[in-house]
Amino acid sequence: MIPSQREKYNKQINNEKYRTFIKDLEIGYPKIPFRVAETPVFIPKALKEKLVAAGEEIIKLIKQPNFKDITSPSIPPEWSVPHENDHPHFLTFDFGICKSEADGLTPMLIEMQGFPSLYGFQHHMGKTFTTHFEIDSSVNYFLNGFNEEKYIQLLKEVIIGKHQPHEVALMDVDAPNQKTAIDFFVTQKMLGIKILALTDIKKVGKQLFYEENGKQIHLKRIYNRLIFDEVANNPEIFKTSFDPREELDIEWVTHPNWFYRISKYTMPFLDSEFVPETRFLNQIDSIPTDLENYVLKPLFSFAGMGVIIDVTEQDINAIADPENWILQKKVNYEPAVKSPSGGVKAEIRMMYLWPDDGEPQLCISLARLSRGKMIGVRYNADFDWVGGTIGFMEE
């Protein structure tokens, strides 16, 4: 997207350098189970400013006094967790990079999450790119004036808070074996916190504990990476650990309710040039006649699971729970990243940290490259110059 940066980078990259880069990325960590792209995305200042402006519009909605009221129906009663805090600790907004007739490239919102992303791994990846390739100092993978020291300090403030690292744990249903486990291990190395599976944690009264070297350690804060959908079919797992829906003496980073509040559920409430027309399926009076221009999405799913791209009336009529689906105008990605074998589509995730008693701060980004019909890594397994990467944005 920045022609000079793209040309300079493409002259450096080859298969051997790519393999060496991946090998270095994995040193000291498990093998990465998803595809990392051959290149970062070089984002010009004009597009960066649009991405920042789009994020600010979304945050304005989230900070409205009535935001909890309008999003309360998003939380399934059976998964509501008590003691929700005032705001999420993480915000991530995914934008497809599209062609604007007026002024070049423009972002269009695809999804949003009030849930953690790869905050550890993205820094590790950006730093590794800079050690393996000559990347001009006019671009940076940190945003908003952050550098490594300031970024790690803010991560500690958000995730550890006022506690000691051993009193904080990153938790998932089976943390060491998740597809994103490399992010868990990078985060552990950066912050010194524990990585625990759900069943590693035991409840005594209202308090939570884990065992280390034969001792019971009091857990005070959970960096939550557990999505309830992952355990919905196995509620017995809580009986051998703890049930997050009970009254507990624990701090959540971030509280599980925010996963539902800030999600595709939020998109119909946004009115912006950067947000495609989005409506709840149960609020549509008549089915559009041009369904080829729409996509049907379940509200709560990850990595494109359940999305119907080529929508038919039969698809819509077959939905048993239309309140849990949205119908969204299709976003036409522009193949704006020039690879040696043609244009590649890009999606940019803008990643914010929101400390207790503070303001949301844009820190870093995630990018995904695609040649397939959808952006997710699983839909691009047979291509090169696709997969997860990071944005280097013009200062």
For 21-34, what is each residue's pLDDT tens digit?
A: 999 999 999 899 99
* C-alpha closest to that of 67 among 345, 300, 270, 285: 270
Long-range contacts of 190-193 (CB under 8 A, 24+ apart): 190/120, 190/123, 190/152, 190/155, 191/152, 191/155, 191/156, 191/159, 191/160, 191/165, 192/165, 192/166, 193/159, 193/160, 193/165, 193/166, 193/168, 193/169, 193/223
Report the share of the chain in percent with pLDDT over 70: 96
Residue 220 contacts residue 167 (beta carbons within 8 Å): yes
- Going from the C-alpha of 338 to that of each of 2, 38, 342, 354, the distances in angstroms are 10, 12, 6, 34
**86: three-class secondary structure by DSSP:** coil
pLDDT at 222 over 60: yes
Q: Are 131 and 24 in contact (CB under 8 A)?
A: yes
Q: In which band, very low, low, confident or very high, does the pLDDT at 235 lie, cut at 50, 70 and 90?
A: confident
Q: CA 25 to CA 73: how far, in whole Å?
A: 42
Contact partners, residue 162, CB within 8 Å, separation at least 6:
none
Residue pLDDT, tens place only, 250-281: 999 999 999 999 999 999 999 999 999 999 99
> Omega of the bond prior to 254 within 30 degrees of 0, cis?
yes
Q: What pLDDT was estimated at residue 233?
A: 84
Q: Express the helix, strand and coil content of the chain in percent, nearest 5 each.
A: 35, 25, 40
Average pLDDT of every residue of the chain: 93
**Burial environment of residue 289 by CB neighbours within 10 A (0 to 12, 13 to 18, 19 or more):** exposed
The residues that bridge with 107 in the sheet, in sequence order, are: 97
Mean pLDDT computed over 140-158: 98
92 token code pair: 């991530």
Residue 394 structure tokens: 């013009």
pLDDT at 304: 58
Considering only CA atoms, give the Rg of the chain. Answer: 21
Say if CB 388 and CB 34 are below 8 A apart: yes
C-alpha span between 16 and 307 (Å, rounded) = 36
Which pTM value belongs to this model?
A: 0.94
380 pLDDT tier (thresholds 50, 70, 90): low
Over residues 286-305, the mean pLDDT reads: 85
Lowest mean pLDDT among 189-198, 293-302, 377-386: 377-386
